[in-house]
Amino acid sequence: MSERNLSLSLRRGTRGRCPKCGEGRLFRGFLAVNERCPACGEELHHHRADDAPPYVVMFIVAHVVVGLMLWLEVVHAPAMWVHAAIALPLTVILSLALLPSIKGALVALQWANRMHGFDREGGQGT
């Protein structure tokens, strides 16, 4: 069974590239994963990212935004509309920015660990 480099796969997935070759695009849309890599033909439809990427993104964004809002309250004590004017757009922007990278990393993690059908040997599946 061929070796799959986890850190290299994660870097490629985070950039939205095929975890195997790093050349082909992982996504055909904002979050829709390609059935196969357009460059090397690696099957990518096996992934089961499902609800994990949004949960990871919520975890990260919540810590950043809540921490920032707590700091802002303690240091400056602004009006509530200032909190809303900062927190709401920041939450949306961070969530939309992080979601493709997190999903790509989770698909790459599954590929590198041979999970959910990525374990096939021979042909295009290795």
How many domains does the structure of the chain reveal?
A: 1
Q: Is residue 103 part of a domain?
A: yes
Q: Give me the long-range contacts of 11-15 (CB less than 8 A, separation at least 24).
A: 12/104, 12/108, 13/104, 13/105, 13/106, 13/107, 13/108, 13/109, 13/111, 14/101, 14/104, 14/105, 14/108, 15/101, 15/104
Domain encompassing residue 113: 6-125
Q: Is residue 110 part of a domain?
A: yes
Q: Is residue 11 part of a domain?
A: yes
Query: Are the beta carbons of 120 and 66 closer than 8 angstroms?
Result: no
Q: Is residue 22 part of a domain?
A: yes
Q: Is residue 1 part of a domain?
A: no
Q: Is residue 74 part of a domain?
A: yes
Q: State the pLDDT at residue 20.
A: 95
Instruction: Pull the structure tokens for residue 64.
Output: 């950043």
Q: Is residue 16 part of a domain?
A: yes
Q: Residue 2: count other Cβ atoms within 10 Å of its Cβ.
A: 5
How many residues comprise the chain?
126
Q: Is residue 83 part of a domain?
A: yes
Q: Give 7-38 pLDDT, tens digit per residue.
A: 999 999 999 999 999 999 999 999 999 999 99
C-alpha torsion angle, residues 75, 77, 81, 82 (rounded to 10)? -20
CA atoms within 13 A on the CB side of 105: 14
Q: Give 48-101 pLDDT, tens digit per residue.
A: 988 999 999 999 999 999 999 999 999 999 999 999 999 999 999 999 999 999
Q: Give 113-125 pLDDT, tens digit per residue.
A: 999 888 765 444 4
Q: Is the pLDDT of residue 126 over 50?
A: no
pTM of the complete model = 0.88
Instruction: Pull the structure tokens for residue 24.
Output: 């082909």
